[in-house]
Amino acid sequence: MHTQPKNPVSEALKGAVAGAAGVWAMDRVGWYMYRREDASTIQRELAARPGGLDPAHNIANRLAGALGTELNPRQPNPWGVAAHFALGVLPGALYGVLRHRVKELPKAQGFVYGAGLFVLNDEIVNAALKLSGPPQAYPWQAHVRGLVSHIVLGMVTDAVLRVMDRELHPVPVEQVSRST
């Protein structure tokens, strides 16, 4: 892996792309787990959500309100989906830059990044901004699903970045032969 990136903007762009891939993978895992939960667990989670909406759709509705318009209240709507992806793309861009500057960060291969996003977003910021209900209002299954799916997001984001590093910045053959 390159330790000295030449351009932080390109690292941020790569991180944004990797973050989008991470969100896609996170959704597959999260929905797989969600569909296997019992009805009472799902009802408790839905009852905890402000307006019955997930945080991304609450963000989209707040932004629309600030612009003087209303969105279709039904989930999913395109603006809520865009907000959801932005919540993975923007931190992915930051991770793309920081992984070369914080020596220990890449060693966890996205695990700490994903777990940290879960704690920060799902357990602290969303509740503080009233984009979600308080953490204790949700069933334990929602917390486990959130943690697992965010770890998947982090690890996929990191893996995609590693592939982009390898493919976009290959190590010259003479450096490989000197290190072996």
Name the residue among 79, 91, 71 with its Cα closest to residue 20: 91
| Domain assignment of residue 127, yes or no | yes
| Domain assignment of residue 144, yes or no | yes
Asked if residue 5 has pLDDT above 70, the reply is no
| Domain assignment of residue 155, yes or no | yes
pTM of the complete model: 0.88
| Domain assignment of residue 12, yes or no | yes
Cα 16 to chain centroid, rounded:
10
Name the residue range of residue 135's domain.
8-171
What pLDDT is attached to residue 1? 45
CA torsion, points 86, 87, 91, 93, in degrees to nearest 10?
A: -10
What pLDDT is attached to residue 178? 61
| Domain assignment of residue 149, yes or no | yes
| Domain assignment of residue 55, yes or no | yes
Query: What is the rounded distance in angstroms from the CA atom of residue 62 to the CA atom of residue 27?
Result: 23
Give per-residue pLDDT as tens, 22-62.
999 999 999 999 999 999 999 999 999 999 999 999 999 99
Q: Which residue has the tokens 């879960």?
A: 118
What pLDDT is attached to residue 105? 87
Query: What is the rounded distance in angstroms from the CA atom of residue 82 to the CA atom of residue 92?
Result: 15
What average pLDDT does the segment 77-105 reach? 94
| Domain assignment of residue 31, yes or no | yes
Domain count along the chain: 1
| Domain assignment of residue 177, yes or no | no
